[in-house]
Structure 1
């Protein structure tokens, strides 16, 4: 009898590990991180060769960006692996906040690259240098653009399925890379074919500004999760509508939501007829929970049932 009581107490304090993220989502997310690292390494190699041949500062900007992409994507690999770790005794809400922390790390790398590029571009505005072997540089950037577009397309499919902030941040700066690559192509073309030597540093300066703007976007999105910001209003309205659609739910209030990586946490109060049995009130809560999970499968939901005197309400109505 004593052993049974101790087991019940242990389960109450340390419930069995909750897997907040499905295995399918975990596998998809991890594959996306490996794909990003692979593409970034390939881009560094071909851009390094192109920079050595052309001497273009715009090409250098693309090379620096891709080199930092490797570092940022490697951070993502470890962050996603940590975020996908199931909840344990020390982390009852899981490890999802590893993703926004990785986002801040990515933003730091991206900001550093943008500032370095801006300084280098300003220097070359005063002492412009001609770009050599422009056709080769344009060809390399064309290949880079196609590889990056393919990666972004793949990442967006993963984001639609998982909602991963880490992959979203990765995709955001790779989308910026597409614009970077197009800017480099334009800069090299104007410099070599049009003879406008200032095009190279001017385009590089514009690219630096865009990269910096991308970094700020990642910072704000990461801070939103770290500060437990509520889900967007349209999602909160959807949760409210789902709960009130149950015919036996009389009231809905105190909705609280937050996100941590791919994990979503939702809690609210349901008003039910106070004359119902505890079992029936519990069943209503489970039925509402199933409705919400159908739309938000990654959510962990806590529902509190409040008794309402339905006869009194009817007489007042």
Structure 2
């Protein structure tokens, strides 16, 4: 992703969510089309052609798709990218389709050609469900959904463990791309000198970023 600039001070992380939403829409439409074709094949069965050549092509396609999915899985684990996860869904869909075609070709050689349509219908439902999950995740990012509650609780516990901190309130979080944005109010003794209050705010930011390196932390000091 492009780094933050003068016009986008919080970076361009939400572009990933937009890309994920677009891919979810594209994949969802593909799932519907696959389902329609599967129903048509169930209503009007058609004989399969040269199964030997088809099996060889599908085997090669499966090997290449598996290699690409392994690479994408590594990238997702390292970055948590929504866009790459959505793209991975696209290739998982290809993998399922190719697997169903391969199985259908094998079964057709033994006199079961109609199972091709049933496999296609099942895969269409799976792809549509997966596309909805990607769309929901993208929507959560675009709508600034909070991080899971246990993450906020862990952050508050880290800050409360700092000597001199009396309390924490208004802890808010959101996600943009692979970066977290965290805001919180630190409750400090009212008579504390300004430079000491500042040092405690810096320490609060440090302990959170030490545990969660992807966090951008903003701390506000409140006298109590």
TMscore range, shorter length: over 0.9
CA distance in 2, matches of 1:153, 1:254: 41
Q: Distance in 2 between matches of 1:137 and 1:293?
A: 53
2:221 partner SS: strand
Aligned equivalent of 1:261, options 174, 177, 180: 177
What does residue 166 of structure 2 align with? 250
| Alignment-derived partner of residue 280 in structure 1 | 196
Greater fraction helix = 1
Shift of residue 221, structure 1, vs aligned partner? 0.5
TM-score normalised to structure 2 length:
0.92
Structure 2 distance, partners of 1:185, 1:255, is 52
Note if contact 1:231-1:257 (Cα within 8 Å) is conserved in structure 2. yes
Question: Does residue 30 of structure 2 align to residue 123 of structure 1?
Answer: no
SS at match of 2:2: coil
Residues 222-260 of structure 1: per-residue CA shift (max 9 Å, x gap):
100111110112222221222122122210111111111
Uncovered stretches (5+) of structure 1, i.e. residues with no partner: 1-83, 309-317
Equivalent residue for 1:34? none
Residue of structure 1 in register with 2:151 after alignment: 235
Equivalent residue in structure 1 for 2:71, among 126, 129, 154: 154
Q: Does 1:179 align with 2:104?
A: no
Once the two structures are superposed, residues 209-229 of structure 1 have per-residue CA deviations (whole angstroms, 9 ceiling, x without a partner) of: 111111111110110011111
In structure 2, what is the equivalent of residue 87 of structure 1? 4
Deviation beyond 4 Å, 4+ runs, structure 1: none
Q: Cα distance 1:184–1:242, how it changes in 2: closer, same or farther (>3 A)? A: farther
Checking the alignment, whether the CA contact within 8 Å between 1:176 and 1:214 is kept in structure 2 is: no
SS of the equivalent of 2:5 reads coil
Larger RCO, structure (CA 8 Å, separation 6 or more): 2
Moved more, 143-152 or 121-130: 143-152
> Cα distance, 1:280 vs. partner?
1.2
Secondary structure of 2:180's partner?
A: strand
In the alignment of these two chains, the number of paired residues is 224
- The aligned residue for residue 23 of structure 2 is 106
RMSD: 1.7
TM-score (norm: length of structure 1): 0.66
Q: Distance in 1 between matches of 2:154 and 2:45?
A: 56
Partner of 1:143: 60
Which position in structure 1 is the counterpart of 2:211?
295
Distance 1:176 1:249, change over 3 A: farther
Distance 1:114 1:253 in 2: 45
Change (3 A) 1:295 1:142: farther
1:168 offset after TM fit, Å? 1.9
